[in-house]
Structure 1
């Protein structure tokens, strides 16, 4: 590829090139001399809402993070509470860079109905063994919270700070930077993982610099397997679905057409009470065990809207379902990576989980405790 004089796209960080219109960083010759020009991919994203996937993997991203960290005095680790299983691995990446860091839990507004933000931060700090004073939770839509954080950055990292912002794909890195710095308005945003493809420097007034970085995958195998439309529906942007089910032996709960779990045994009773948390775009459907594939054939892309029929064919053809046997007890969450989780609020059960090849379920302590919504408790 041919690098142009402008260097890199200010919206996504891709090196400009003029050879391949279908690759990130492409800049037509007619736009080469225009100030603030962005690559064709970002232009179409901003003006037409057209999103395209880009070739990116963790090895490529980490190779970019290492030299960026040499220019940084600290790290802002953004934690996506709806994808904790992937964000936990991003903490290991941050620690490996050997810089002081703070953990900022984004999308806290999705949990305001069920838990205080102090409780959210306490859970993260306790489970991840992080200093409480170096952890915080906020909504990326809350301009006051972002302003307050900006005022704290010189206290935490000193004057003239240079901070590397990292996290998993769709944790909100570019949105965070846009909220902290007016200069961040150039960064491209979309619900598709992989919008930012290179490290981008964004000044913060006169006091510092934030370095935007591409999102890490860290085991999120949905990203290379699903189309842009399906991927965007996995991201909880405005609302997180919370639905409670009484599941009996030989019943199954489906997370769209992505994964499902069958009740094999319920210990000393015939049922278990669980609450499912997932993106509001993922349909949750209870059915009789053994009917899952029949329902997928009949209702893929309709009742079971995620994934679309084309993505379902790809998944079934290349990534066969693997069965996992998992015991779930009261006080525990059962994570279906990239789909959501089940909280066991009453009883206990053994599940047969069916996940695409490459994924494995995880067990953790309750994240959201079993109490009714508390609309009056905010921040």
Structure 2
């Protein structure tokens, strides 16, 4: 028998990393597992598909044929459930964490809003104010959470408090955990599993978008389940345009150290080669930048910016760093704003710059990545 010959499995088996149904037939479809790996997984009781195995051991992403319609079909099951919806968002990338039309998926089910990656934000930000800010932004998006929780799944910070809130609001029902890709949802669920069972890193986690392919059910202690749903993929996320090493430089790994840049009008800041900020008009001001600490920020005159980017992308201005990534990197698109109050210019997936009132600026991001102006978080 060849490795890829069809094999009839006696029972349905599912990858414990991403939830996909195991199959040994088609290497490009979800759940593919070579027969040798299937046998080993059954022996050890830790059955991973080939994609999750490579993610766990080599941080290597393997594309699969799953469409946006597949994700929406899986999420639509939530509407008919009687459950608490735990909506996980990335505090650092709130707008990039929004699920468009979430109300259509949750029906009348209550929503507990969870702001993840709290450890990344400076400790000077009052947590009570941050919760209020998250609730206000959620309300603007049509989401009315019953409560707001702040956690750091990566460091296990406040996960025990979240579990108490989940128990309080679920009232004996199932729990559905939803979120877009890259918000740390699977990491959070791994922490929950570890606290309940002692097992570590059961679900596949990665910096890459879209690692959970189907719903994963985790038993609770009263015959109900906690369901990990697939992450909705936002095509606009910065993560889609960078490789794993470059993504490390763009995605904050530790608590951000804000940097203040005193700028005159007609000055530009480059954030590696992935984004750009132009100060177009206004008095001399300090602009506070919140991005990953290791991302190189380069200041220049606005009149030199175009030439600098053309000649230094991949050299002085990185990431992107490899020739292949530079060739595939989308052009930067300009978004102009004039402030009337203290505001944040947000480049989704990268960070933000806090602006004073009465200035005109432009933010540049890869084509498809949103740049927005919001009320200042701080």
TM bucket normalised to smaller: 0.7 to 0.9
Q: For the Cα contact (< 8 Å) 2:117–2:151, is it kept in 1?
A: yes
Q: Partners in 2 of 1:58 and 1:237 — Cα distance?
A: 29
Q: For the Cα contact (< 8 Å) 2:345–2:363, is it kept in 1?
A: no
Question: Could you say which residue in structure 1 is the equivalent of 2:138?
Answer: 128
Alpha-carbon distance change, 141 to 260 in structure 1, aligned in 2, over 3 angstroms: closer
1:158 aligns with 2:171: yes
TM-score normalised over the length of structure 1: 0.84
- Secondary structure of the 1:180 match is helix
Question: Could you say which residue in structure 1 is the equivalent of 2:117?
Answer: 107
Q: For the Cα contact (< 8 Å) 1:177–1:210, is it kept in 2?
A: no
* 1:44 CA displacement: 2.0
1:286 aligns with 2:299: yes
1:307 aligns with 2:320: yes
1:252-267 equivalences under 5 Å are 252-266=268-282
Alpha-carbon distance change, 171 to 325 in structure 1, aligned in 2, over 3 angstroms: same
Deviations 1:160-180 (A, max 9, x none): x21111112111111111112
1:212 aligns with 2:225: no
Question: Could you say which residue in structure 1 is the equivalent of 2:191?
Answer: 179
* 1:80 CA displacement: 0.7
Q: For the Cα contact (< 8 Å) 1:86–1:219, is it kept in 2?
A: no
1:49 aligns with 2:86: no
Q: 2:338 aligns with which of 327, 331, 352?
A: 327
* 1:143 CA displacement: 4.3
Question: Could you say which residue in structure 2 is the equivalent of 1:372?
Answer: none
Q: For the Cα contact (< 8 Å) 1:16–1:26, is it kept in 2?
A: yes
TM-score normalised over the length of structure 2: 0.84
Question: Could you say which residue in structure 2 is the equivalent of 1:376?
Answer: none
| More strand per residue | 1
1:11-160 equivalences under 5 Å are 11-21=17-27, 23-33=29-39, 34=42, 35-54=45-64, 56=66, 58-87=68-97, 89-90=98-99, 92-94=101-103, 96-98=105-107, 99-129=109-139, 134-141=147-154, 143=156, 145-159=158-172
Q: For the Cα contact (< 8 Å) 1:193–1:231, is it kept in 2?
A: no
* 1:106 CA displacement: 0.9
Q: 1:336 aligns with which of 334, 347, 350?
A: 347
Alpha-carbon distance change, 22 to 92 in structure 1, aligned in 2, over 3 angstroms: closer
Structure having greater relative contact order (Cα 8 Å, sep ≥ 6): 1
Alpha-carbon distance change, 339 to 16 in structure 1, aligned in 2, over 3 angstroms: same
Alpha-carbon distance change, 233 to 17 in structure 1, aligned in 2, over 3 angstroms: farther
Deviations 1:2-35 (A, max 9, x none): 6854432110122323234355422111233413
Alpha-carbon distance change, 286 to 101 in structure 1, aligned in 2, over 3 angstroms: same
CA RMSD for the aligned pairs? Answer: 2.8
1:277 aligns with 2:283: no
Q: For the Cα contact (< 8 Å) 1:6–1:32, is it kept in 2?
A: no
Q: For the Cα contact (< 8 Å) 1:257–1:312, is it kept in 2?
A: no
- Secondary structure of the 1:285 match is strand
Alpha-carbon distance change, 239 to 53 in structure 1, aligned in 2, over 3 angstroms: farther
Aligned residues: 359
- Secondary structure of the 1:32 match is helix
Unaligned runs of 5+ in 1: 369-379
Question: Could you say which residue in structure 2 is the equivalent of 1:243?
Answer: 259
- Secondary structure of the 2:335 match is strand
Question: Could you say which residue in structure 1 is the equivalent of 2:211?
Answer: 195
* 1:304 CA displacement: 2.4
Q: Partners in 2 of 1:120 and 1:91 — Cα distance?
A: 22
Alpha-carbon distance change, 355 to 102 in structure 1, aligned in 2, over 3 angstroms: same
- Secondary structure of the 1:252 match is strand
Deviations 1:245-271 (A, max 9, x none): 1121221111221121222211xx2x2
* 1:188 CA displacement: 0.8
Q: For the Cα contact (< 8 Å) 2:71–2:232, is it kept in 1?
A: yes
Q: Partners in 2 of 1:232 and 1:293 — Cα distance?
A: 26
Alpha-carbon distance change, 178 to 359 in structure 1, aligned in 2, over 3 angstroms: closer
- Secondary structure of the 1:103 match is strand
